[in-house]
A = this chain, B = another copy of it.
């Protein structure tokens, strides 16, 4: 475990062609890390995430990805993820292959990954057309009842990136509130990067809280606000207005590209990104 900068962590641990999961279910979405991947112009990534959300809309629109594994890809509460759609429908800025699952299937795949089982299982997918378009959805026969139980291959990303509330100076990470599949995605990965709101002397974790011990974490970077426009419970709320604004920004290729150029490529880091938004009167 190293406490480092986000730039250094992405530079060292996210490579072109990697399989990368940025998790966080509505809460604690690692936006700063996703933008740093855009800024460092990574290419050919296989992106994994239950809910692509704006973060993968940005990364896919910016050309980082060639494959997406997901289970629900919209702008939550608003509508389409326009850049994800454009990539799937019209191959812009490049073709995007997809592995499509249900939430329960993705969750089982992460659990299998964290458990180093080759597959996860669920009573799922029955009567849907998903197995017809995703040949990795298969089944096993129960050795006791003869039932067919659906299976999904384990997800073991090269890198998982999470955002959390706190780390201590040893690099132990505390996650509190809505947890999504963050712990499973983190433990399933070969490398685990975590951005946090703050680094503290003592986590003050309640008994049975979700703590990722430092020795399972590859690198920690302190990036206050790094989940914006999603939220970090105890620090700031979800910026629903930005999610609505994004619908306009992302609808059009040129507007989107200008936004990425100005605010991501045109800034050095997440603090610069927020400062640029504020300078233009659109910052949080």
Contact = CB atoms under 8 A, between A and B. Distances in A.
Interface string A227-271: 000000100000000000000000000000000000000000000
Contacts of A123: 116-117
Given A139-B143, A140-B140, A140-B141, A117 B149 contact: yes
Nearest to A136: B144
Contacts of A141: 140
A12 interface: no
Nearest to A123: B117
Interface in A103-120: 116-119
* Majority-rule SS of A interface residues: loop
Contacts of A118: 142, 144-145, 147, 149
A254 B247 CA distance: 79
Interface stretch (A86-94, A207-215, A216-224): A207-215
Contacts of A140: 140-143
A43 interface: no
Contact of A208 (B119, B145, B179): B179
A188 interface: no
A216 to B, nearest CB: 18
Contacts of A143: 119, 138-140, 151
A206 interface: yes
A64 interface: no
A37 to B, nearest CB: 29
A211 to B, nearest CB: 10
Nearest to A121: B117
A153 interface: yes
Given A116-B123, A177-B207, A207-B177, A144 B138 contact: yes
A26 interface: no
B176 A207 contact: yes
Contacts of A208: 176-177, 179, 206, 208-210
Contacts of A147: 118
Interface string A167-205: 000000000110100000000000000000000000000
Contacts of A176: 207-208
Nearest to A141: B140
A143 B137 CA distance: 10
9 contacts: A117-B121, A117-B122, A121-B121, A138-B143, A138-B144, A140-B142, A143-B151, A144-B153, A208-B209
Given A118-B144, A140-B142, 4 more contacts: A118-B145, A206-B206, A206-B209, A207-B209
Which 10 interchain pairs have the tightest Cβ spacing?
A206-B206, A138-B143, A140-B140, A118-B142, A118-B145, A144-B153, A176-B207, A143-B151, A118-B144, A119-B142
